[in-house]
Structure 1
């Protein structure tokens, strides 16, 4: 051995030359013989690094200088993961070097084929590429989606024959023609290409293998309340009844199509901050913002009519129990990649109003929002799946037993659901949770706020408006003409919007105004001049200003009018015409959801409508009432005239004959 020690050679990394940085070995798992040998080797190597003499090392441990050099070389090698072997290289019978076939070796057993397959692939890299491409589905080598190993082996043999390999050469000279070796090679290939191999078992497996558990994605700490929240939606597992009024005034009971519950949960404390119900077949951007609005605004409890149903004293929503959390907002909101989450209103309101950052995360990975996914599972098990009208978790679920019939027979209504959901979620916040060490979410929220003194951000006073959450901005050109005498107006979603001030502002013709639209109520629009100055409220013309309706309802009505499926006159309320049409449709459940959704918007009264807006709507209502009165008087006069004409004709007839 040379005088210079191995660890003093140039080019070695610190983790190679310092035994204190080496990975350790659990000595207790070694059998008695292996343990004795390992301890001797370990002591010899440590003495070598302490610069003890070689004679002393051999005398103390029994390890010869030649063998010691070999052991040290094993210890400073790197494994396949790029980690120095360290003391692992001293384990008896441990292979630290990949086997390579040496055809020139005198000790080679020609009857054994160990290493022949790898050597064959090195000599024929085109065959190696073909095998890997077929297994990993690369370069479109085959139209078969997932090729089995036996079919890959057939292509492998065909390729060997095309290259002129004879029956006396490997692999054609073996019993299985390299099949077993191919299996082992593909197993190694699958381990080295975990994500791509997972794609063979479906897109879900590929997404999990490709995104879950990498780097520091799962180690982010969320200690502070409202630091991060998660949003998601769940289709309610049940059918519910609702009472509707027919155009003839009769009361009928129908079942609703399955609809959605949308929820926002605080990650650090597991508190449900807010929720909303969406009756549409698919929820949209406005539904997302309704949920976000409910999570920020102070919660109002539902009036309970179900006998025996009550709120627990320990339950509630965070702002109910802790006044300092009223109008509190989050820093980050985690959503999935649904199209509704990318809607303009969602992006604008989350960023510019609430001031939180949307985090969409990777595609098709609900486990990244595991907190809220777990809540939905608990909600289904504790509420929806316990009701007689449940659809269960699937069509084959034994809990599913004629849910529509049960909903009608037992009169389990939509109003009952609203009460149940509000009570269950409120009580959930006050119930001990296993994920937070048997503390209730509200208890943990209060503890962290009291102990740390770190309060979440609160929405500014000038932004605490219910309508602002549902507001989007658009630009429209003022129309009208001096030549035709048509006064200025704004056109939005097929309806003209006017005001007395706009009618007297001819200078605004052909100029562009900025409009703030409340997508929950299109009866009014708030207009701003191009320089940002407030102009005032514009009122929808005709009967559109009488009944509150959403942007979704307006578009549905315009679509039906365009298809000539409905028609309304100047004297008709488009919303009533729309609901009458839906009542006449055969697809009762789909229409029932739409009618209920319209009725919910009509019943809802805005809590923060401005004086100017309310005054404009009231003036429009009074004007329509006057027009109705004038029209009724005109109709009565026409009826009287018809009666007079009829009497005169009768008299003429009697006189003549």
Structure 2
């Protein structure tokens, strides 16, 4: 064979022809004898490719004859299993470049040796190979999800019998019926199909194997604060309780269903950019997402701690608390997964029109695309929640899980305590040095970036209201009638809304208004005319305007009223009636009802706090009117009671007739 037929072959690629692209060999790892042989071979190949010496001269210099030279060069330009030319690696003495293949027709064939028989069997019977792979990777619906090798071997033998392989042939002519060869084949399958094989070790391993560690790893790192943030919800690994007063006046402790914590983290500095939101719902919804966003944007103030010994670190805190220049700071891009609450219309509309950010939805079931928030939740769980006596652990068999419900009730680990603990843990997290930040704390890293002029975008002052975060737009028609004498009103979720202006605007009857509804507080609704001008704030009728309540709570009350499970008049506060109903149900449905009771306690607590604050004029006027009506009603009731208790005397008059 001439040299030109090897080197100048038209189908050779640049990776095969260019020796600079060949993978090298570390000769220090070879034995002295193997190193000497390798160096002679390398010298011969270099002369052969450079075309400076004849094959006779190459033989005189290196001892590599023509036949061996062609064989070695063919090894160098052949491809390895990964599609890369072997290059200089093909010159290593005794290196096998391709797996052993049994050839029964060869003169060297030894019937006593079974090497290669298994591979030959699979090549001859592809159905056996398919059966083994299906069982190993759990592709068959009726098979075990993770079948062990000894059970795969049993199926392998059954398949061989099904194909009527003679008992005198492999695998029936071996001592263990090919079991050891099958195990080696399964190991090769595991190594060759890493992602698929990882499913045998659990869902988490499969996720990481299929979605990380491959492709371009040098992604550009975000260094500008608030340029990219990540959001996600995490289920608390612990049981908490609430204390209630029963209708009989006794104290009782109820366990809550497991709660959710919702957090925002800055990719550039690893700061948790606002106080995390705790959701009492079974699954957090779109309203919870926007409440968490509101807490991330609005300035944060430290809580008044009631737990003895619990304190904030001097270096900890929140970005808006430590740096006044970035109060009301907002982000440019938000990254989260495809949870239904993230895809809700309210979330997408508020993020686009209020925050003014772009949304990056991660692929389904790929948490590694949001590594910062996932790592924070892992740290939060391992360093705090799973160290408490009320922890549920990471799985049912976790040794740290020791009757969490009893422990939570025994030590009265209440929901209020959870709020304080979570706030302190997160604030201290922001002040703790991180290895990824070269042992700067997130707050220190943020301070350095701010000093370099990397100031994030701030929310417009016209939008700095806590109500706009949970606001949705709903069209409603003005109702009313001259015939019945009912003044104009708007009905939303079974409750009438009006103000003095609407009550005297009969010309708006049957006109469709645009309502801006705060789904977290339905006491008031802001109305806009069809031309876009603001009409004013409409207030809920009756005592619906007294206690803050969400859309979800309003729906629950309406359902119970429709089923005639609760009843209230215009003189009753529906939220308190709903709370009393939940207390009656707490005896039988503890966990499910306890979360609802906790939510009603929150809104009633908010009402108490609002008594000392300035309310909106319309809301304050309506509440003052209700208060005056209540006093008048109480006064009337007292008068009626006094009148009923006053003894009555009857005079009898006698008629005298005079003649």
TM-score by length of 1: 0.87
Structure 1 residues 401 and 162 mapped into 2: Cα distance closer, same or farther (>3 Å)? Answer: closer
Tell me what 2:623 maps to. Answer: 621
For residue 525 of structure 1, give the secondary structure of its aligned residue in structure 2. Answer: strand
TM-superposed deviation, 1:18: 0.4
Name the residue aligned to 1:465: 465
CA distance in 2 between counterparts of 1:100 and 1:625 reads 95
Q: CA shift at 1:522, angstroms?
A: 0.5
Alpha-carbon deviation of 1:641?
A: 4.6
Aligned to 1:61: 62
**Partner in structure 1 of residue 334 of structure 2:** 333
Alpha-carbon distance in structure 2 between the residues aligned to 1:508 and 1:454: 51
| Deviation digits for residues 492-541 of structure 1 (CA, Å, limit 9, x no counterpart) | 22222223333444555455433221122100112233443333222212
Distance 1:27 1:480, change over 3 A: farther
Aligned residues: 645
Alignment of 1:212-611 (within 5 A): 212-216=212-216, 219=219, 221-237=221-237, 244-245=244-245, 250=249, 252=251, 254=253, 257=256, 258-274=258-274, 275-306=276-307, 309-380=310-381, 382-384=383-385, 413-451=414-452, 453-481=453-481, 484-506=484-506, 508-584=508-584, 585-586=586-587, 587=589, 591-604=593-606
Q: Give the match for residue 33 of structure 1.
A: 33
Q: What is aligned with 1:84?
A: 85
Q: Secondary structure at the match of 1:432?
A: coil
> How far apart, CA to CA, are the structure 1 residues paired with 2:119 and 2:309?
74
Q: Please point out which of 608, 620, 636 is paired with 1:634.
A: 636
> Residues 484, 260 of structure 1: CA spacing in aligned structure 2 closer, same or farther, 3 A cutoff?
same
Partner of 2:209: 209
Structure 1 position 244, deviation (Å) = 4.3
> How far off is 1:571 after superposition?
0.9
Q: Is the 8 A contact 2:229 2:333 kept in 1?
A: yes
Helix, strand or coil for the counterpart of 1:273?
coil
Counterparts of 1:381 and 1:193 in 2: how far apart (Å)? 32
- Residue deviations 1:368-391, cap 9 Å, x none? 444334333444455445656666
Residue 431 of structure 2: SS of its match in structure 1? coil
Using the TM superposition, name which of 213-222 and 322-331 deviates more: 213-222
- Determine the structure 1 residue equivalent to 2:110: 109
Structure 1 residue 404, shift from structure 2 partner: 6.3
Deviations 1:390-436 (A, max 9, x none): 66666776766776676667666544443443333223322222332
Q: 1:430 to 1:186 in 2, by over 3 A?
A: closer
* Residues 253 and 408, structure 1, Cα contact 8 Å, conserved in 2: no
Distance in 2 (alpha carbons) for counterparts of 1:387 and 1:169:
63
Contact 2:255–2:409 (Cα < 8 Å) also in 1: no
Work out the CA distance in 1 between the residues paired with 2:140 and 2:308: 66
TM-score by length of 2: 0.87
Name the structure 2 match of 1:655: none
- Structure 1 unaligned runs (5+)? 653-657
1:95 and 2:96 matched: yes
* 8 Å CA contact 1:466, 1:607 repeated in 2: no
Q: Return the alpha-carbon distance in structure 2 between the equivalents of residues 184 and 238 of structure 1.
A: 44
2:106 counterpart SS class: coil
CA distance in structure 2 between the partners assigned to 1:424 and 1:261 by the alignment = 13
* Deviating more after overlay: 215-224 vs 386-395: 386-395
Partner of 1:538, secondary structure, is strand
CA displacement, residues 253-312 of structure 1 (integer Å, 9 cap, x when unaligned)? 635525333322222222121122333444322222222212111111223455555443
Match of 1:14 in 2: 14
Contact persistence 2:132–2:152 (CA under 8 A) = yes
| Of 433-442 and 314-323, the range deviating more from structure 2 | 314-323
1:438 to 1:61, Cα distance in 2 relative to 1, 3 A: same
Structure 1 pair 89–637 and aligned structure 2 pair: CA distance change class (3 A) = same
